[in-house]
Amino acid sequence: MSDTTVAADVDQDHAEDHGDHPTEKAYWIIFAVLAVFTALEVAWSYMGLDGAALVLPLIGMMIIKFVLVAGIFMHLKYDMSIRNGNMFTYMFGFGLLLAIIVYAVVLLTFTTS
C-alpha cells in the first residue's frame, strides 16, 4: 500500500467522522452574532436592574452563546460519527445544565439568608 493510499483512507475516515463544516462566511456571521450578544450582555448589566430582571436575560444570552460556540466553533453540531454519536453534544449540554443548577443554588443561598 502506498503512502498516497494510506493518506486517502485517513482523509476519508476523517471526513466521515466530522461530516460537513460551515464555510468561512458562516464563521464570520457567528462571530458577529457572538459580538452582538456580548455587547447586549454588557449593556444589560449597566441598566441598573436587580434580581431576576437582571439575571434571567443574561442566562438566556449565555445559553445562546454557549450553543453557538459549542455547536459551531467546537464542531459538536457536525460530530455525527458512528463511533461516538452525539456523546460530546450530550456531555456539553449536561455541563451547561449543571452550571445553571449550581448558579441557581448559589443565587438562592444569597436570597434566603
Task: Answer for the pair 76, 92: CB distance below 8 angstroms, yes or no.
Answer: yes
pTM: predicted TM-score of the whole model, two decimal places: 0.60
Model confidence over 48-89: pLDDT tens digits? 999 889 989 998 998 889 888 877 777 666 665 555 567 777
d(CA 46, CA 43): 5
Q: Fill in the DSSP letter of residue 47.
A: S
Model confidence over 84-104: pLDDT tens digits? 567 777 787 788 789 889 988
Give Cα 32 to chain centroid, integer Å: 15
d(CA 40, CA 48): 14
